[in-house]
């Protein structure tokens, strides 16, 4: 847990990271983030105080290794997993957790939506040094054992409270989809309508009951729960585009305007904020959307799904998302949610998780190089040096996925040391190394 100094007499005790930052306190979590990022702790504290940086760190998450998300820091990557009603295989979900932690995911979102999910969630929080996120809306029906239309606003708050008490570091709350947002959506229309699962459930509840979005109407109550446990609110984009056709439309932008207002209200309540974004989006729209979010949401950290830059690559959407993610992060996004090859097709398995996570880690790292994040090039330089020396173990050590790299190399071992089967004795590295060492270059290929 984060230890903080006592507040001056007459002032409330600081509870959250943003409370502490505004009080001039550098918490252990801030110091841990600064060390990881190669930044001065005061740089991190100032960023948290201003809302540019969030450190999702629930006071109950004992195993957490804190991460910072936001301006001037490396791009973080999230993995989605969780038990599905159609394919409930808890053992497979734990395999996915192991892959995520092995490859260095910074966050894991438990999107379980079947039955009583608390046991899986609490065990995940106990095990994981990565940040844990959830979408309480997904859990509401199973947790409450009620039909959607019978759930009350207080019921929804009870689910948020349970997740906060369990130790979840950030929760997606679709608070920006209010009556004004829906009016824009209805007036302008869409090709793919509402594709957010949480957003669609809220839309259905609002339409069935005639009520306002409970997370918007009772937003202050949500914030009070989150503040008590230092849970970061990730303001969900219920109106994110589910196709490139719908990108940057009235529904998306209307919701983003509302989210900007909600961001300030959360900060005023001492709650850290991340803002969630698209979605599907053509290449030429991505940079402008990143800048628009930063402008409308006051430089709050931006968390994006992809964006997927084309709609016609099922089976390869980890690639379409990585292309968009690299552009998004290099243009200002701070946090990338991975997409797997199974996107739009089925629940991903552990192999899909590996492929999707590595693709997203590549996108994040490529963006960090472009943004000039301190130390971002160091690993690439070590890899390049190992390649010059044809040091295979050194190369595997620097690889994002050393397991796959080693498997490829071992599947076709070279006949000569200092080469691989791509070039053999004609390897440029081998040739120049031998010349530089004063040796003879033997190109006899027999």
Q: Which residues are annotated as a binding site for substrate?
A: 80, 109, 138, 174, 196-198, 237-240, 276, 303
Q: 134 forms bridges with which residues in the sheet?
A: 110, 171
Question: What is the DSSP track for 221-253?
Answer: HHHHHHHHHTPEEEE--TT--SSGGGTT-HHHH
What are the Cα distances from residue 344, in Å, to 307, 314, 324, 348?
14, 7, 17, 10
Binding residues are: 80, 109, 138, 174, 196-198, 237-240, 276, 280, 303, 344, 420, 423, 427
Tell me how many degrees the CA angle 359-364-367 measures, rounded to the nearest 5.
125
The whole-angstrom separation of Cα 16 and Cα 227 is 7
Binding residues for [4Fe-4S] cluster are: 420, 423, 427
Q: How far is CA 71 from the centre of its chain?
A: 15
Q: Which two tokens stand for residue 419?
A: 């080469």
Are 311 and 273 spatial neighbours (Cβ–Cβ below 8 Å)?
Answer: no
Are 35 and 75 spatial neighbours (Cβ–Cβ below 8 Å)?
Answer: no
What are the Cα distances from residue 205, in Å, to 18, 138, 292, 388?
33, 13, 30, 60
Question: What is the DSSP track for 104-168?
Answer: T-SEEEE---SS--HHHHHHHHHH-SSEEEE-HHHHHHHHHT--GGG--HHHHHHHHHHHHHHT-
Helix (H) or strand (E) holding 265: helix 250-268
Binding residues for Zn(2+) are: 280, 344
Q: Which two tokens stand for residue 388?
A: 């010059």
Is the preceding peptide bond at 307 cis, omega within 30 degrees of 0?
yes
DSSP 213: P
């Amino acid at each position: 847990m984060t230890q903080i100094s006592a507040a001056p007499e007459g002032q409330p005790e600081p509870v959250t990271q943003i409370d502490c930052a505004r009080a001039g306190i550098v918490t252990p979590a801030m110091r841990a983030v600064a060390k990881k990022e190669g930044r001065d702790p005061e740089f991190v504290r100032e960023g948290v105080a201003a809302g540019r940086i969030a450190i999702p760190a629930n006071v109950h998450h004992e195993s957490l290794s804190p991460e910072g998300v936001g301006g001037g820091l490396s791009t973080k990557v999230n993995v989605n997993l969780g038990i599905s009603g159609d394919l409930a295989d808890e053992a497979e979900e734990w395999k996915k957790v192991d892959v995520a932690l092995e490859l260095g995911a910074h966050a894991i979102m438990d999107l379980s939506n079947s039955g009583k999910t608390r046991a899986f969630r609490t065990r995940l929080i106990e095990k994981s040094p990565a940040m844990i996120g959830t979408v309480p809306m997904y859990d509401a029906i199973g947790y409450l054992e009620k039909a959607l239309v019978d759930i009350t606003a207080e019921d929804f708050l009870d689910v948020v409270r349970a997740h906060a008490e369990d130790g979840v570091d950030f929760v997606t709350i679709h608070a920006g989809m209010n009556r004004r947002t829906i009016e824009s959506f209805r007036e302008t229309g869409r090709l793919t309508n509402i594709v957010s699962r949480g957003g669609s459930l809220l839309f259905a509840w609002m339409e069935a009951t005639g009520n306002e979005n409970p997370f918007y109407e009772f937003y202050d109550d949500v914030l009070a729960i989150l503040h008590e446990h230092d849970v970061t609110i990730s303001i969900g984009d219920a109106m994110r585009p589910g196709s490139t056709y719908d990108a940057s439309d009235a529904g998306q932008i209307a919701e983003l305007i509302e989210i900007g207002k909600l961001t300030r209200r959360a900060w005023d309540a001492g709650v850290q904020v991340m803002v969630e974004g698209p979605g599907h989006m053509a290449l030429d729209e991505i940079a402008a959307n990143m800048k628009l979010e930063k402008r409308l949401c006051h430089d709050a950290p931006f968390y994006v799904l992809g964006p997927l830059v084309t709609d016609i690559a099922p089976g390869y959407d980890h690639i379409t998302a990585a292309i968009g993610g690299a552009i998004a992060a290099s243009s200002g996004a701070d946090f990338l949610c991975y997409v797997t090859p199974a996107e739009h097709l089925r629940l991903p398995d552990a192999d899909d998780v590996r492929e999707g996570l590595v693709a997203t880690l590549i996108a994040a790292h490529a963006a960090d190089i472009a943004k000039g994040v301190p130390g971002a090039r160091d690993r690439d330089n070590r890899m390049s040096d190992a390649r010059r020396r044809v040091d295979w173990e050194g190369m595997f050590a620097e690889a994002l996925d050393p397991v796959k790299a080693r498997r490829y190399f071992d599947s076709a071992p070279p006949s000569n040391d200092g080469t691989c089967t791509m070039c053999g004795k004609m390897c440029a590295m081998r040739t120049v190394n031998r010349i530089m060492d004063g040796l003879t270059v033997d190109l006899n290929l027999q």
